[in-house]
Chains A and B, each alone.
Chain A
Amino acid sequence: MSKPARRVALVTGAANGIGKAVVVRLLEAGYAVAAMDRDAVALTDHVASGAREDVVNFVGDAADTGQLADAVRAIDARFGRLDTAIFNAGIAGVSAPLKDYPIDVFDEVMRVNVHGPWHGIQAVTTLMKATGSGSIVLVSSINGVRGFGTFAAYAASKHAVMGLAKTAAIDLARHGIRVNSVHPGLVNTAMMQQVEEQVGAPSIEAARAQFSAFVPLRRYAEPHEIAQVIAFLSGDEASYVTGAGYIVDGGFTTGVPASA
């Protein structure tokens, strides 16, 4: 059992990309971390996993109520508290015009990206209510505030996440639980690479160059740059921040960048 003062975080989609960076960042900040992911191999291969007493891995589906409940029970047993939950697990779906978009892929995108955080919030609030405080961060996307052609399922799901964060912030304020959403732009991750492969550019590099031209900072984010903002929102530095959508996009959604 850890020292009672150690803060405890749950991170879903923890094995790769932004989630992995969040785990690293929170461990640096002294949290104990419960890392959940469907990908057992990537999760056990994690830089932060292994024999550390401040990390516990859950191989499971972060949209499954039963598996979420198991994870929260195990967190309670191991650490006795939960201070912050980062619902980051998400999938991009495919790139297709809505007209031709496979409805089973639409259903899976909504299940993972929307039903996941919904069940996640319900699973963690009991434990957070016990301490009378907590912070929940939902990882949305700039697709939660803007549309992009051929990703209608993803856009619908990420807009829904923002709506979920706002209402949850209002509903859970009475328990001292803050809820916010983070909206990353283009990030150097495997998921973004899947998107780059699907948009019909001659190469991934070409797709990247094409996308970066829309970003005033003229580059992708590295995952740790998103993790820093998530860690900030998770902690007491953000004690008055709730119901907010923090955009972390290098200026992408601000307007039209000056031509290169």
Chain B
Amino acid sequence: MSAIEGSSPQRPKVALVTGAAGGIGSAIVERLLSRDMHVVAVDSDVESLAELKLRFARGRPLCSVQADVADLLAMRGAVASALAAFGAVDCAVLNAGIEGTVAPIDEYPCEIFAKVMNVNVRGVWCGLQACIPELEKSRGSAVIVSSISGVMGFAGVSAYTASKHAVIGMMRSVALELAPVGVRVNVVAPGFVSTRMTRDLERHLSPDNPQAAHDAAVSRTPLHRYAQPLEIAKVVGFLLSDEASFCAGGVYTIDGGFAT
């Protein structure tokens, strides 16, 4: 386990992860625990959080907080819980996100657009606002989970694409603000990953034959397969670690070559 420069050398790093009960989120929790970090798992879904605790919590330093990421007060509360449980927040993983639906922009329901922007953009904003004071104290690191939809467009997912572009813009600004105090902020941009969200997207794209949507995505991915969630979690873990000490303000695609 790596020590944090400027703080007590023996203390384990504490990471707050949002969307922690989802596909990529739970893989991140698992990965960070396996790297001896203490983890504060934030999710809006109480039942999924309970399952997460059953999977990982036995004797492990995991605490869970039910919160809506787009609620600033709730996120400040999550940070307070982290401080109460582990005494610090060294790392923040802003991962919570929803996919919305699939429809061309001229037919896309406004209320779903608003919901996607609220969770995916305002949620990251509130998570950052809540965590930054602690990250500054610990000279920590944050990773925002965007998507290849943050760097390119896909048919029918205008809300998701706008939201995932937005968090890259947010990261680029906040990375510049926090670099002088030694806090690194980066984005990961996963491609197609085997998760509940991607399966739902396949069903939206091809209701009669989701497998066809899956096969089309695989065939367009140079590595010719989906990622496993752990493959995303490994890169997140790397960016949070001191191995990535000069990585700041970057967009790291993990897409099997899709956006290449």
B-binding residues in A (CB < 8 A): 65, 97-99, 101, 103, 106-107, 110, 114-115, 118-119, 121-122, 125-126, 129, 143-144, 146-172, 174-175, 243
Contact across chains for A121 and B153 when beta carbons are under 8 A apart: no
Cβ contacts under 8 Å, B190 to chain A: none
Contact across chains for B166 and A167 when beta carbons are under 8 A apart: no
Contact across chains for A98 and B125 when beta carbons are under 8 A apart: yes
Contact across chains for B169 and A147 when beta carbons are under 8 A apart: yes
Residue of B nearest to A148 (CB): B173
User: Interface stretch among B7-15, B26-34, B155-163, B235-243?
Assistant: B155-163
Q: Is B38 an interface residue (CB 8 A)?
A: no
- Complex Cα spacing A163 to B154, Å: 9
A114 and B153 in contact (CB under 8 A), knowing A98-B129, A146-B172, A164-B162? no
- Complex Cα spacing A143 to B167, Å: 12
How many B residues touch A, CB cutoff 8 Å? Answer: 45
- Complex Cα spacing A32 to B210, Å: 47
Contact across chains for B154 and A152 when beta carbons are under 8 A apart: no
Residue of A nearest to B133 (CB): A99
Cβ contacts under 8 Å, B175 to chain A: 147
Cβ contacts under 8 Å, B152 to chain A: 166
Contact across chains for B170 and A167 when beta carbons are under 8 A apart: no
User: Measured between C-beta atoms, what is the minimum distance from A37 to chain B in Å?
Assistant: 23
Q: Is B113 an interface residue (CB 8 A)?
A: yes
A101 and B162 in contact (CB under 8 A), knowing A150-B177, A152-B177, A171-B104? no
Residue of B nearest to A124 (CB): B106
Give which listed residue, A121, A143, A149, A243, contacts B169 with CB less than 8 A: A143
As a 0/1 sequence over residues 112 to 148 of chain B, the CB contacts with chain A under 8 angstroms (1 = contact) are 0110010001100110110011001000000000000
User: Measured between C-beta atoms, what is the minimum distance from A36 to chain B in Å?
Assistant: 19
Q: Give me 8 other A-B pairs in contact (C-beta within 8 A), A107-B122, A163-B163 excluded.
A: A110-B166, A121-B106, A148-B176, A153-B170, A156-B170, A160-B117, A164-B165, A171-B155
